[in-house]
Amino acid sequence: MERRETELMLSGYGLTTAEFYYRMPDYRNVLNTFIWQEYDLAPDHPKLFGFIEFWQDKIDGPLHSVRFVHRKMISPGEWTNVTGEFTIH
């Protein structure tokens, strides 16, 4: 069963965005880009590195470089359940 985004964020996952630069299989002098986004765990990034391994094994376009950024949206200590509301005049 796939976990919901909020559950992932509360478990320490953050949004990882990677930009892949790769060479076209038939035109090695042409660079193309591919954007990948997934919830992943820093600092090991198992999903990102798993995708890079998949790319190298299964896709014909050889990688030139990869740039990525990781952002934790929330952490367990930042989220609280609100059960009331205050109205200020």
User: CA–CA separation, 86 vs 10, rounded Å?
Assistant: 26
12: left (phi over 0), alpha (psi -120 to 50) or beta: left
State residue 58's pLDDT score.
95
Residue with tokens 């990688």: 63
Output the pLDDT for position 36: 96
pTM of the model: 0.75
The reply to whether omega before 46 is within 30° of 0 (cis) is no
Residue 25 is predicted with a pLDDT of 87
pLDDT digits (tens), the chain, 89 positions: 567 888 888 888 899 999 999 999 899 899 999 999 999 998 999 999 999 999 999 999 999 999 999 988 765 566 666 677 666 76
Angle, CA of 62, 63 and 65, to the nearest 5°: 160
Q: Look at residue 75 in the predicted model and tell me its pLDDT.
A: 58
- Domain ranges across the chain: 5-71
What pLDDT does residue 32 have?
95
Is residue 31 a contact partner of residue 63, using CB atoms and an 8 Å limit?
no
